[in-house]
Structure 1
Amino acid sequence: MANPTTARIRFGVIGAGAIGAIHMETLNKLADVAELKAVTDTYLPLAEQRATEYNIPVTHASPEALLADPELDAVVIAVPNQFHAPLTIAALEAGKHVILEKPMAIDSAKAKEIVDVQERTGKTLIIAQQMRFSGLARAVKAVIDEGKLGRIYNVKSGWIRKKGIPGWGSWFTRKELAGGGPLIDIGVHMIDLALHFMGGPRPVSVFGTTYAEFGPHKRGTGNWGTPNWEGTYDVEDLATALIKLDNGATLALDVSWAAHAADMSDEPFIHLMGSEGGISYVGNTAKFITHVDNEVVTTEIAPLDDSNERELLARHFIQSIQDGTTPISSAISGYTNNRILDAIYESSETGNQVKLNWN
């Protein structure tokens, strides 16, 4: 295996679907630090197609064959959620560093298994929460880190898509493969980014509810993914929750794939309220608000730059390998997100608040 401090990191990609292709395109843009050398997929013709598209020299017949390849230092895992844990564990135990697509796992028990193996092997693992790396998100975090918000005590986060159910009847809408609907798909982004802005407090209790008003009737479908109209839809299409954190703050979450939501933006949003100021982050804009001489003053927050967020995530991952440091989107952060997701689903099923023990 190459010495990561002196050579480019050599990557393989497991999963040649749409997300896998995005990672391939990203890695090919990082030729100074990365080399894309292998790909595999359960549908081998698709892997061969991607190999041609992205100039990948080796197409492996299986994930097992790819993970046994001594010419690879790291792998990207971009497969349905059900397979995140077994493939990540196998990769770590094979001595590979891992970029793992979100969510970390289909549930928190599987996420905890990944955490345990990552800690035992010492390999670098990053969860692909690329929203943390956008120029605007980094600018917002810089304002927060300067202390301009004071104590952040209340946050509202979400992503309300009005007509965006992906791949109706495919793995996206099957609970056994995906683990859930918009909550585990896009909600995990909003939980992750909100907690990142808040400084990483731990959740201590969760109350939530999920609904399925569109998907079971084949309504509200979007353009992502390939539908299978003979398939199954047994996940939610909207989720709402209130999360209490160990520092006393609260995080409210609302996400949907489909909803009759008039006058609500389709863009992801986070509204941070602090003792000294607040930030409203919606889509590609952000504003800082505070009181000066008893008057409300609002100023725009400009992105730090226009760098590609996925390229920055990959560079951060590679730098973490070289430095032996923990990525900011770490295994523990992914596990925390999974615990919140599980608690929301449990709360919806039972109608009760779910308390989380971190001992």
Structure 2
Amino acid sequence: MRYGVLGLGAIAPYFLKAIERCPHSTLAAVCDLDPAKTESLAKDGTLAFTDYRELLAAGVCDAVIITLPNHVHAEAAIAALDAGVAVCCEKPLAVTSAEASRMAAAAVRTGTTLFTAFHRRYNHHLLALREALPEDRSQIAKLTVRYHENILEHIGGDRWYLDPERCGGGCLIDNGPNALDMAHVLVGGLTLVGARLADVRAGIEYVAELDLMSQDGVPVRVELDWALTTGETKDVVAELADGTVLRADMLEGFTAFKSSLRHEYDGILADFRDQVAAGRTSCGTGVEIVRLVEDAYAAGRGERRRSKLPARTKVVRLLFHTSDKRGMSLSEWGTRCVSAGEIHELVTTTDRPRGAGDRIDAVGFLGFVEFQEGTVIALGDEVRLADGRLVGTVAGFDECHFPNHYNVVIASDRLWTATSAAIRPGDEIRFVEG
């Protein structure tokens, strides 16, 4: 695989060394605004650029690694995907969930791999803890992830980390994605319960505390700190229902500063190559983690908190047709209670029904889904595919087939079907409070 590395700041050396160690990889090109950084690497056939668009146009790379400031991840990644170049993007995937969703959509549209580099998920100690945990995750009473460091010891000359416009925030958006992904590796999908931001300096939080809940009901605590005077603590503690305490210290046995990163970045490249070889376009937990960080900022800043958990559904039957004269009718109900195991039909519409009795003619049929947990579906709920793409928002319910099932009417900018959504039986579709 011929790599291009975009951005030669504090993180880039770990990728460059991993490329050197891999017999199946070649450094084809590097790009940075500072020519002094590229000159030393422009040798043995490696080309140097100061504009990533020129690098992409040169056609010398099969893949690019993005270690640019967070606020330009989206534009650089989408440009690469549009050029048919696979993307390995340093965490966070993007600053906002809207940007992350656009990136994920570009990967699906172009059939090109988009991959988020969460290096801690490849740490030997974390993986050993995952194997030691009980298969029944409900036996975990609590999980605590700590990510504490002195940020000034880690950023080198990359002052953009301390610029909220370019970084997107502070410790929450920088260390938070790794910590949240570590928890995801251990207990699966997460929902935010609450968040606190503290030690705010010039608009940047140096302390953040997050409380979350896994899909299996495991309470998760994430503690982030950028303000240690020296040293670092990066570990996970799992407390089991029987009183057993299991711990993974990410830095145990790695005595030199950042020496644990060697095997972790080797893991990133190996996993990325496998994803490309398999032709996968999904960015894994990338979009989900961006959304959790976004929710945590909203909660920590005192913005409106979510009032319910997201609801997962599983596609059990695909539908492929559209109609412009369906003749559905919007019911009077703005919310419906749904029990786990119920099956309902998802119907998209470009009409704009607003009240009871409004006729709905232009429709596209996604399919039937089984709800995996009890929930309340409400007007305005977002309906999202597994890769984060937004199908639309709940406009109401049609009861022409009730009590067999509801038609959940989803307002969208186009008529979605199972074909256009590229979904398969067993895929997950989520209802998330808007």
Is 1:235 aligned to 2:222, yes or no? no
Task: Show CA shifts across 1:168-207 (max 9, x none).
Answer: 9921111110011111111211111111111x2242x431
For normalisation by structure 1, the TM-score amounts to 0.76
| Alignment partner, residue 49 of structure 1 | 40
- Say which SS state the counterpart of residue 60 (structure 2) adopts: coil
In the alignment, is the contact (CA less than 8 A) between 1:41 and 1:62 conserved in 2?
Answer: yes
Post-superposition offset of 1:325: 4.4
Unaligned runs of 5+ residues in structure 2 are: 254-259, 311-429
| Alignment partner, residue 210 of structure 1 | 197
Aligned pairs for 1:1-359 (under 5 A) are 9-30=1-22, 32-52=23-43, 55=44, 57-144=46-133, 147=135, 151-161=139-149, 164=152, 166=155, 170-198=159-187, 200-203=188-191, 205-212=192-199, 216=201, 233-259=202-228, 266-275=232-241, 278-285=245-252, 308-325=263-280, 331-350=283-302, 353-355=305-307, 357=310, 358-359=430-431
Task: Show CA shifts across 1:109-133 (max 9, x none).
Answer: 2111111111222212221111111
Post-superposition offset of 1:103: 0.8
In the alignment, is the contact (CA less than 8 A) between 1:207 and 1:352 conserved in 2?
Answer: no
Post-superposition offset of 1:65: 0.9
- Say which SS state the counterpart of residue 50 (structure 1) adopts: coil
Q: Following the alignment from structure 2 to structure 1, what is the Cα–Cα distance between the partners of residues 135 and 284?
A: 25
Larger radius of gyration: 2
- Say which SS state the counterpart of residue 45 (structure 1) adopts: helix
Question: 1 or 2, which has the higher helix percentage?
Answer: 1
Report how many aligned residue pairs link the two structures. 303
For normalisation by structure 2, the TM-score amounts to 0.64
In structure 2, what residue type is equivalent to 1:72? C
Task: Show CA shifts across 1:284-315 (max 9, x none).
Answer: 459xxxxxxxxxxxxxxxxxx99712112201
Question: 1 or 2, which has the higher strand percentage?
Answer: 2
- Aligned-pair identity in percent equals 25
In the alignment, is the contact (CA less than 8 A) between 2:7 and 2:31 conserved in 1?
Answer: yes
- Say which SS state the counterpart of residue 58 (structure 2) adopts: coil
In the alignment, is the contact (CA less than 8 A) between 2:146 and 2:224 conserved in 1?
Answer: yes
Q: Following the alignment from structure 1 to structure 2, what is the Cα–Cα distance between the partners of residues 12 and 307?
A: 19
Higher RCO (CA-CA < 8 Å; seq separation 6+): 1
In structure 1, what residue type is equivalent to 2:90? E
Unaligned runs of 5+ residues in structure 1 are: 1-8, 217-232, 287-304
- Say which SS state the counterpart of residue 248 (structure 1) adopts: coil
Q: Following the alignment from structure 1 to structure 2, what is the Cα–Cα distance between the partners of residues 249 and 15?
A: 38
Q: Following the alignment from structure 2 to structure 1, what is the Cα–Cα distance between the partners of residues 157 and 217?
A: 39
In the alignment, is the contact (CA less than 8 A) between 2:172 and 2:224 conserved in 1?
Answer: yes
Q: Is the alpha carbon distance of 1:24 and 1:83 closer, same or farther for their aligned partners in structure 2, counting shifts above 3 Å?
A: same
Post-superposition offset of 1:282: 2.4
In the alignment, is the contact (CA less than 8 A) between 1:240 and 1:254 conserved in 2?
Answer: yes
- Say which SS state the counterpart of residue 42 (structure 2) adopts: helix
Q: Following the alignment from structure 1 to structure 2, what is the Cα–Cα distance between the partners of residues 123 and 94?
A: 9
Q: Following the alignment from structure 1 to structure 2, what is the Cα–Cα distance between the partners of residues 341 and 234?
A: 16
Q: Is the alpha carbon distance of 1:159 and 1:66 closer, same or farther for their aligned partners in structure 2, counting shifts above 3 Å?
A: same
In structure 2, what residue type is equivalent to 1:207? G
Q: Following the alignment from structure 2 to structure 1, what is the Cα–Cα distance between the partners of residues 118 and 269?
A: 11
Task: Show CA shifts across 1:241-289 (max 9, x none).
Answer: 211333322211110111589xxx8321211234465521223459xxx
Post-superposition offset of 1:138: 2.2
Off by >6 Å, runs of 4+ in structure 1? none
Post-superposition offset of 1:97: 0.7
